[in-house]
Structure 1
Amino acid sequence: MEDVLSYFGEVLIKEVRDRTIHGFDMRVTGKMKDGDSQKLYAEMQKMSNEQRQLIERIIPQIVDLSIHNMLFMIEEYPNIDLQVEAEKMSELSDGLSGELYTEDGWIQRFTKERYEEI
């Protein structure tokens, strides 16, 4: 298996970040047909184009901050850890939350969804 830390990062980005962004994009564009999604879509239609674009920009930022905070929590609480292939993720990195960022970070390497550094 490839580098365990990279494997974890790839799965995290594809299965959590990308799926969440895609799911919300589907909701705010009216492509999800359940009642709650349609209510959200109807509310979005009341907004100006600029306001809708802002929401679309904010979605990945909220997802990224949530993932960042979860990874930081794992670093801060020694009694909580993640293991992949019997390897503790917090021991393989000098800062799990930092693995998300930079040009060779997990987001840049693995995402299929939009990303904007702020």
Structure 2
Amino acid sequence: MKNIDEFGQLISKDLRDSALERCVDILEKKLKSEDCIEINDSLSNLTEDQISAIKRLVTNCVDTGIHDFLYSIEVVQDELSVSVNGEEIVKQSDGLNGEIFTEDGWFAKYSRYGETGI
């Protein structure tokens, strides 16, 4: 696996999937912290269409955050470098933020939820 793909797998699984799984776990009442119970209680009267809209919203917000983070890495590449096995990731891509999208992008290849999310 290329170093850039290792980075993409990390972003997809350990960042994106973790955030999306948190949302799913709250919606499925798997988390029992006071905060999660309060959130779930406030969502209990929503329809399935409304819950679906929330899932799309969460996916969109998480994906936008990742996109903007990757873009920021490129913008500050002279002050900050991200490397995997000694190779700078920015130099392996013509646009890190674009690596996450499309049918052969990082989300499609590595995310449990695919490109579309939850």
Runs in 1 of length 4+ with deviation above 3 angstroms?
Answer: none
Counting matched residue pairs gives: 116
Root-mean-square deviation (CA), in Å? 1.5
Tell which deviates more after alignment, 97-106 or 47-56: 47-56
Q: Deviations over 1:63-86 (max 9, x none)?
A: 111100100000111312211111
Counterpart in the other structure of 2:98? 98
Q: Which amino acid aligns with 1:34?
A: S
Residues 70 and 97, structure 2, Cα contact 8 Å, conserved in 1 = yes
Counterpart in the other structure of 1:20? 19
Residues 102 and 115, structure 2, Cα contact 8 Å, conserved in 1 = no
Counterpart in the other structure of 1:34? 33
Structure 2 unaligned residues grouped into runs of 5+: none
TM-score computed with the length of structure 1 as normaliser:
0.90
Q: Deviations over 1:75-112 (max 9, x none)?
A: 11131221111111111111000000111110111111
State the shift of 1:32 in Å: 0.4
Structure 1 unaligned residues grouped into runs of 5+: none
